[in-house]
């Protein structure tokens, strides 16, 4: 590509509303432009990168034996009603009507559509297993679109869905996809971790996420410092703590007139936060009374994903209203405790292990000190309800947990027969008997992957693309203020030669001053820069610099080709 004919739309100023580096650099490099909240236009430069990621994904999916399809983004609402997700998915699902007032949704994911395809097209066990994939636009009406394409409302996803006769075959394909994803992200050139994950809105029983480690990541991950244990904090287990100590103190009521949080009470009484206990009141699951109180140590935080999985807690976890709390405790939130509580209490293991703790007195303006389970408050049911913290024992028994941040670029699930059952998919087995296939689904955020790579690969001057997804691998920068025909010819001939060798090359023939030209080429992250100038030609060399290095190298023609090959 000759840059004089390209729309290279770099910006000097740092966009004010872009909070993270990838968003800033994608705008500054001229990769994307915002159209509306969470909705972007990909400019020619950005699209070159997006298409390269897409090509790697497609190549590896094909190699893995998956079959490409392309479904519509607009999906009849009936399919979502059939699966039961039309109401369950909530306001992230964009609903629309056609001119006949028929209901449609914009697909945020395509389990229903592909399961319906299988219902219509697959009749016999001989046609299984099968794995359909697509690289297609998804729409999720995210409550807080942010960080550019990292959390957009419209984005490109590779989604695939596999169907099997039995669980063993699903497990085989799940491993096939896991290996495929490893190859994809390795080829893209990004540093990633595979972590245990919650199955969330997709549903099912086994799942892992592919996470790009980056400070700006929205996901918190717990990783062992000695083993390969790694889990999203949503599912990182915290085990039963050491046995509870014997009670030593007597129960006493203390005035805490304005102190409502554990932090405030601990500061007032000058005690460690870890000796306080808080109650979080949530709605109970249907048919189990109205409310349940969840007890967590003051220095710990409640894990809503774990809580929602508890059989006595409504899913998704829903906090009780202030009126409901007053009704159950006869007191305002901020002064609640298990002593005398009239609703069931479920304690996190670490909260259950407390002795002589401090908690609310169920009376506005007062807390209790020296409280003890059994003696003062009924022994609670126990469960793993909290978020893991730095230094917790790793659940696999090896080492301690560290907390790191990650960007979820992919997730794989074993849904089991969840959707095939809901949509009534059956195939005939060898004996001619009807059988419900079991299924897996596998997603990659193609647009998010582009942003995630930038979070990991950048410096003060701009993006530092890995070769595999750079908009061009090589930039030839022409310095020719006198418009010397020899310099023009040398740059043209090198450009033609590299292009002929299949090396994706940009020729910067825009006639900019060297400083401005180099700044652009660094900003847009081209891995290899070659300068063609009158001086170099006289010496028979090209000036070469790798992106991310600070030294130039003078190479002759042969050395240059060798290096780029």
Task: Find the binder of ligand ATP among 22, 83, 109, 115 (CB under 6 A).
Answer: 109
Residues 359-418 that bind Mg ion (CB under 5 A): 411
Residue 155 near which of Mg ion, ligand ATP, none (CB within 5-8 Å, type-dependent): ligand ATP
Q: Which two tokens stand for residue 136?
A: 């297609």
Cα–Cα distance measured from residue 339 to residue 333, given in angstroms and rounded to the nearest whole number: 15
**Nearer Cβ to Mg ion (18/441):** 441
Among residue numbers 432 through 471, which ones bind ligand ATP (CB under 6 A)? Answer: 443, 445, 447-448
Assess 57 for contact with ligand ATP (CB under 6 A). Answer: no
Pick the closer one to ligand ATP by CB: 79 or 320: 79
- Nearest-CB residue for ligand ATP: 445
Note whether 170 and 440 are within 8 A (CB): yes
User: Contact between 409 and ligand ATP (CB under 6 A)?
Assistant: yes
- Write down the least CB distance from residue 154 to ligand ATP, Å: 8
Residue 285 CB neighbour total at 10 angstroms: 15
Strand order across the beta sheet in which 277-283 lies: 277-283, 291-297, 345-348, 381-383
Cβ closest to Mg ion, residue 231 vs residue 491: 231
23 touches ligand ATP (CB under 6 A): no
Using CB under 6 A, which of the segments 56-64, 381-389, 406-414, 478-486 binds ligand ATP? Answer: 406-414
Binding residues for Mg ion, total number by CB under 5 A: 1
Cβ neighbours of residue 332 closer than 8 Å, sequence gap 6 or more: 322, 325, 326, 364
CB of 199 to Mg ion, least distance (A): 9
Q: Looking at 116-124, 147-155, 304-312, 391-399, which segment touches ligand ATP (CB under 6 A)? A: 147-155
- Nearest-approach distance from CB 537 to Mg ion, in angstroms: 54
145 or 337, CB closer to ligand ATP?
145
Binder to ligand ATP among 256, 372, 411, 456 (CB under 6 A)?
A: 411
User: Near ligand ATP by CB under 6 A, which window of 18-26, 148-156, 223-231, 377-385?
Assistant: 148-156
Count the neighbouring beta carbons within 10 Å of the beta carbon of residue 429.
13
Quick check: 232 binds ligand ATP (CB under 6 A)? no
Structure tokens at 40: 């972007």
471 binds, options ligand ATP, Mg ion, none, Cβ within 5 to 8 A by partner type: none
Work out which of 65, 84, 90, 200 binds ligand ATP, going by CB under 6 A: 200
Per partner kind, with CB cut-offs from 5 to 8 A, the member of ligand ATP, Mg ion, none near residue 60 is none
* Phi and psi at residue 297, to the nearest 5°: -60, 145
Least distance CB 253 / ligand ATP (angstroms): 44
What does 203 interact with, of ligand ATP, Mg ion, none (CB < 5 to 8 A by kind)?
Answer: none
* Closer CB to ligand ATP, 142 or 288, in the complex: 142
- The interface region with ligand ATP, picked from 5-13, 330-338, 405-413, 522-530 by CB under 6 A, is 405-413
Residue 474 CA: distances (Å) to CA of 118, 222, 505, 535:
45, 39, 5, 21
> Which of 37, 147, 82 is closest to 445 using CA atoms?
147
Helix (H), strand (E) counts: the chain? 16, 30
User: At 561, which helix (H) or strand (E)?
Assistant: helix 557-564
Task: Decide: 345 and 272 in contact? Cβ < 8 Å.
Answer: no
Nearest to 465 by CA among 59, 29, 157: 29
- Exposure string over 203-220, b if 16+ CB within 10 A, otherwise e: bbebbbbbbbbbebbebe
Angle between helices 44-63 and 446-456 (to 10 degrees): 110
The interface with ligand ATP within residues 115-144 (CB under 6 A) comprises 140, 142
Q: Is the dihedral of CA 350, 356, 362, 364 positive or negative?
A: negative
Find the distance separating the first CA and the last CA of the chain, reported in whole Å: 19
Nearer to ligand ATP, 107 or 445 (CB): 445
Query: Which of 11, 53, 41 lies closest to 448 in space, CA to CA?
Result: 53
448 binds, among ligand ATP, Mg ion, none (CB under 5 to 8 A by kind): ligand ATP
Alpha-carbon radius of gyration of the chain = 29
Q: Which is nearer to Mg ion, 176 or 411 (CB)?
A: 411
- State the Cα–Cα distance between residues 111 and 83, nearest whole angstrom: 9
Compare residues 219 and 348 and give the one whose CB is closer to ligand ATP. Answer: 219
392 contacts which partner out of Mg ion, ligand ATP, none, CB within 5 to 8 A by kind? none
Task: State the binding partner of 360 from Mg ion, ligand ATP, none, CB within 5 to 8 A by kind.
Answer: none
Of 77 and 202, nearer to ligand ATP (C-beta) is 202
Cα dist. 41→36, 46, 71, 559 in Å?
A: 10, 9, 22, 40
For ligand ATP, give the closer residue by CB, 93 or 343: 93
DSSP lists the bridge partners of residue 543 as: 531, 554
Q: Which of 107, 217, 410, 527 binds ligand ATP (CB under 6 A)?
A: 410
User: For residues 152 and 416, which CB has a smaller minimum distance to ligand ATP in the complex?
Assistant: 152
> Position of tokens 């919650």?
198
408 near ligand ATP, rule: CB under 6 A: yes
The minimum distance between CB 104 and ligand ATP, in angstroms, equals 20
Contacts of residue 372, defined as CB under 8 A and 6 or more positions apart, other chains included, come to 247, 249, 251, 355, 356, 357
Interface residues with Mg ion (CB under 5 A)? 411
Interface residues with ligand ATP (CB under 6 A)? 109, 140, 142, 151-152, 155, 157, 200, 202, 408-411, 443, 445, 447-448
């Amino acid at each position: 590509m000759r840059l004089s004919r390209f729309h290279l739309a770099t910006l000097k100023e740092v966009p004010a509303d872009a909070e993270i580096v990838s968003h800033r650099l994608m705008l500054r490099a001229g990769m994307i432009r915002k159209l509306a909240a969470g909705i972007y236009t990909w400019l020619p430069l950005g699209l070159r990168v997006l298409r390269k990621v897409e090509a790697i994904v497609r190549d590896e999916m094909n190699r893995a034996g998956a079959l490409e399809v392309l479904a519509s983004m607009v999906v009849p609402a009936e399919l979502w009603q059939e699966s039961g997700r039309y109401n369950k998915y909530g306001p992230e699902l964009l609903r629309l009507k056609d001119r006949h007032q028929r209901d449609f949704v914009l697909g945020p994911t395509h389990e229903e559509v592909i399961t319906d395809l299988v219902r219509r097209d697959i009749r016999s066990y001989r046609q299984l297993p099968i794995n359909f994939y697509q690289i297609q636009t998804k729409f999720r009406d995210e409550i807080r679109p942010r960080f550019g394409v990292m959390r957009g409302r419209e984005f490109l996803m590779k989604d695939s869905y596999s169907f099997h006769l039995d669980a063993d075959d699903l497990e085989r394909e799940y491993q096939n996809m896991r290996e495929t994803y490893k190859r994809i992200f390795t080829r893209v050139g990004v540093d990633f971790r595979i972590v245990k994950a919650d199955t969330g809105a997709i549903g099912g029983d086994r799942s892992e996420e592919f996470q790009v480690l980056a400070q700006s990541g929205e996901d918190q991950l717990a990783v062992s410092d000695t083993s390969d244990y790694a889990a999203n904090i949503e599912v990182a287990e915290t085990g039963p703590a050491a046995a509870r100590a014997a009670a030593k103190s007597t129960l006493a009521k203390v005035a805490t007139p304005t102190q409502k949080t554990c932090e405030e009470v601990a500061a007032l009484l000058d005690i460690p936060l870890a000796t306080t206990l808080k109650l979080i009141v949530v709605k109970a699951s249907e048919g189990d009374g109205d409310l349940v109180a969840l007890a967590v140590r003051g220095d710990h935080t409640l894990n809503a994903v774990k809580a929602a999985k508890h059989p006595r807690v409504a899913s998704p976890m829903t906090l009780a209203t202030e009126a409901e709390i007053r009704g159950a405790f006869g007191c305002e939130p901020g002064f609640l405790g298990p002593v005398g509580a009239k609703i069931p209490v479920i304690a996190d293991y670490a909260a259950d292990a407390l002795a002589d703790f401090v908690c609310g007195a169920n009376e506005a303006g007062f807390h209790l000190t020296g409280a003890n389970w059994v003696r003062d408050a009924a022994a609670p049911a126990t469960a793993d309800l909290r978020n893991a913290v730095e230094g917790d024992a790793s659940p696999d028994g090896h080492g301690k947990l560290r907390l790191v941040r990650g960007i979820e670029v992919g997730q794989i699930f074993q849904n089991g027969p969840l959707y095939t059952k809901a949509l009534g998919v059956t195939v005939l087995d060898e004996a001619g008997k009807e059988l419900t296939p079991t299924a897996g689904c596998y997603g990659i955020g193609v647009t998010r992957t582009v942003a995630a790579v930038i979070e990991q690969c950048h410096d003060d001057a701009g993006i530092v693309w890995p070769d595999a997804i750079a908009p061009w691998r090589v930039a030839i920068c022409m310095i020719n203020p006198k418009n010397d025909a020899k310099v023009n010819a040398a740059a043209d001939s090198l450009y033609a030669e590299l292009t002929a060798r299949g090396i994706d090359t940009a020729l910067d023939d825009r006639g900019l001053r060297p400083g401005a030209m180099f700044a652009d080429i660094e900003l847009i992250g081209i891995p290899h820069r070659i300068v063609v100038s009158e001086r170099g030609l006289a010496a028979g060399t090209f000036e070469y610099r790798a992106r991310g290095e600070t030294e130039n190298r003078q190479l002759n023609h042969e050395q240059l080709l060798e290096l780029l090959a």
